[in-house]
Amino acid sequence: MSASTDPLVILREVFGHARFRGGQEQAIGAVLGHRDAVVLLPTGAGKSSCYQVPAVALSRGGQGTTIVISPLIALMVDQVAGLVGRGIAAAALHSHQEDDEQREVIRRLLAGELAVLYVSPERAVTPSFKPLVERAPIAMLAIDEAHCVSQWGHDFRPEYLRLRELRDVLCAQASRRRTPPTIALTATATPQVMDEIVESLGLAAPAIVRGDFRRPNLAFEVQHHTSDDDKLDATIAALERAGLRGAGNVGRGIVYCSTRKKTESVAERLRDAGFAVGYYHAGRTALARDRAQRGFSSSKTRVLVATSAFGMGIDHPDVRVIVHFQAPGSLEAYYQEAGRAGRDGLPGRCVLLFARGDLVTQRRLAEHGGGGGAVAQRRSEALASIERYAQATACRQRLLCAHFTGTSEHPACGQCDVCLDPDAVEAQRLEANERRASRGARVSAVEALPAPAQQVILDAVASLRRPLGATNLVKMLRGSRCKAMQAHGLLHLPLHGALADASEAQIAATIEHLIAERRLVRQGRKYPTVALPQRRVVERRENRPAPAPARPGPGASAKAARRRGLVKTSRMTIALETYRQKMARELAWKAYMVFQRQVIVALDRQRPTTMEALAAIPGLGPAKLARFGEDLLELVRRHTP
């Protein structure tokens, strides 16, 4: 007796679900009717069933293999393991496999033995993969996380734009068999992104499936705070309310942060507060990330603090609370991450801790990511959408649904903070705004320190080996021994702690006073620092005693030469070295991997103003020009008189 090709039978017998959920039956019916489809279903609504069920049906009907484009190897491995465990012939092709394993997967593909094959977008468009598709019986093409196709999406990946090439290969075979349908799926796409998915992939009159974006078991909440200490207290309160402190293995919580540094500091403070907590970000080693994920999966750590690098494809059913310690860069990213709560259908809580400073952080991250024109405009609109959501006094869930569906015809959820107590929400928002305004007024009202203290600040800036931000300069003058002081080598400076009796507000006001009088200047836009005006720097150098006439020996380093006074350290050299160190930390590279010291010397000497001139500098190949070129040109422009 042959196995059934009926989708509902497959859903019940293979996947163990009694009935289809919203949107699934429509999507499956479209592709089984040989029609393209674009599917928008919220996180946790069962997107994978929309292509896995028809893949099994098509395979049982002798129509071949379904190719699934998936962006993460870990996600592929999990999906394949799940299908194989259900008796489905599934496999993946990825870079972590041995050659023999890859050859066996290819053999099974060409023999028509696979129901499902997972590949990355990068592999799918390689010259070696396309001939395999031409020779193999292909039943369907499924593109998961399809919002990555769109430059208007929050997680754009250029390789997704080339997936049309693979689709064209399949369409070219229409002369000898029916063109396999394409199904594109995403959990986070606005109407504009949906349109671009259709256009970029060249889909032919596709069925558009939009699921119900309501998550009736999730309670959304926004809290307005003006300091990290307040945010930490709110995070602890949310985790305690979910019962996540102490022993036990019931429920989990995720705390999302925007930066790696914040992720680590929040995890440390939660650990000090008695929570079993791990942390996850892209800067950790693969082994450390794997340990953090396994610890969370096994509930050894019931709380995970993470950047957006964690979560895609993660399907823990018992996440009871999601806290966003910092606002993400878009409403799409927020809903995708918040939607990881309550996948078992039980109550979940999603708390956004909002501060206007979060938007500044996101702008800096966006500037680092590059891009201009439409991309920059999209990022600006995305930040505006998350701010509108945070400041709104309407049902949170209705706003989220409207953002993705383009219509406001959604009922109020009845359980978000606005629905439960709109007056309290408005009062808390206004109170936070008043605190922020009051703090600004207090700072502006502080008088500058007298002349002797002003000279101390000028002397301190003059003694610095590299530019320093105003906040760290204040901490150094007050005698702080925090990690930043150690990292910048400030603990042993003669003027460390010279103004210990002054308050931070007084020193900060004095720095602003000196800047207003042009006795100090602020340099840089992304990461502004405080420095002496150029004239004062020249005077200071001219007044230095002449160095001893020594020459570096063979093989002496540039650093040793600088110590002997033979190489002048210009402002540009300092800025380039600071940039190199910053990039090395963010990318988890060694500094020389960003670019070597000889590149800094050449940049300072040649002062290139175009990308072509920059390309002529030895040590800056195409990959480094693409990643660092615009930043380097900006540094040159900024430090060239």
Q: How far is CA 109 from CA 24, 114, 129, 133, 137, in A?
A: 27, 6, 11, 9, 8
How many CB atoms are closer than 10 A to CB 433?
A: 14
Predicted confidence (pLDDT) at residue 561 exceeds the cutoff of 60: no
Pinpoint the alpha helices (H) of 18-85.
Answer: 24-32, 47-60, 73-85
Helix, strand and coil percent figures for the chain, each rounded to 5 = 50, 10, 40
Lowest mean pLDDT among 14-28, 474-488, 616-630: 616-630
The upper half-sphere exposure of residue 323, i.e. CA atoms within 13 Å in the direction of its Cβ, equals: 27
Mean pLDDT of 578-591: 77
Q: What is the pLDDT of residue 389?
A: 93
* CATH of the domain spanning 558-638: 1.10.150.80
Look at residues 24, 34, 143, 22 and name the one whose alpha carbon lies nearest to residue 10: 24
b (16+ CB within 10 A) / e for 69-108: bbbeebbbbebbeebeeeebbbbbbbeeeeeeeeeebbeb
% of the chain at pLDDT higher than 90: 34
Predicted confidence (pLDDT) at residue 562 exceeds the cutoff of 70: no
User: Rg of the chain's alpha carbons, rounded to an integer?
Assistant: 29
* CATH of the domain spanning 7-210: 3.40.50.300
Lowest mean pLDDT among 82-96, 444-458, 552-566: 552-566
Q: Which CATH number is correct for 218-437, 3.30.1510.10, 3.30.420.40, 3.40.50.300, 3.40.50.1970?
A: 3.40.50.300
Q: What is the pLDDT of residue 151?
A: 64
Q: What is the pLDDT of residue 549?
A: 43
Give 559's pLDDT tier (boundaries 50, 70, 90).
very low
Q: What is the pLDDT of residue 102?
A: 92
Fold: same for 7-210 and 451-542? no
* pLDDT digits 0-9 by tens, 142-151: 999 898 887 6
* pLDDT digits 0-9 by tens, 332-384: 889 989 989 998 889 999 999 998 888 888 887 776 655 556 667 777 888 88
Predicted confidence (pLDDT) at residue 446 exceeds the cutoff of 50: yes
Cα(363)–Cα(383) distance, integer angstroms: 8
More confident residue, 25 or 361: 25
Mean pLDDT of 154-181: 78
Mean pLDDT of 507-523: 86
Domain range list for the chain: 7-210, 218-437, 451-542, 558-638
Q: How high is the mean pLDDT of the chain? A: 83
Q: Among 178-187, 362-371, 553-562, which range has the highest average pLDDT?
A: 178-187
Look at residues 314, 323, 316, 322 and name the one whose alpha carbon lies nearest to residue 250: 316
Lowest mean pLDDT among 237-251, 356-370, 450-464: 356-370
- Write down the residue that tokens 């570096």 correspond to: 552
Q: Tell me, what amino acid is at 640?
A: T
More confident residue, 527 or 100: 100
* pLDDT digits 0-9 by tens, 267-282: 999 998 989 999 999 8
* CATH of the domain spanning 451-542: 1.10.10.10
Mean pLDDT of 53-74: 92
More confident residue, 555 or 348: 348
Global pTM?
0.62
Lowest mean pLDDT among 166-180, 222-236, 490-504: 166-180
Pinpoint the alpha helices (H) of 242-275.
Answer: 260-272
Pairing type for strands 218-224 and 182-186 reads unpaired
Q: What is the pLDDT of residue 198?
A: 93
% of the chain at pLDDT higher than 70: 86
Inter-residue contact 35 to 82 (CB < 8 Å): no
Q: How far is CA 249 from CA 245, 276, 339, in A?
A: 10, 11, 21
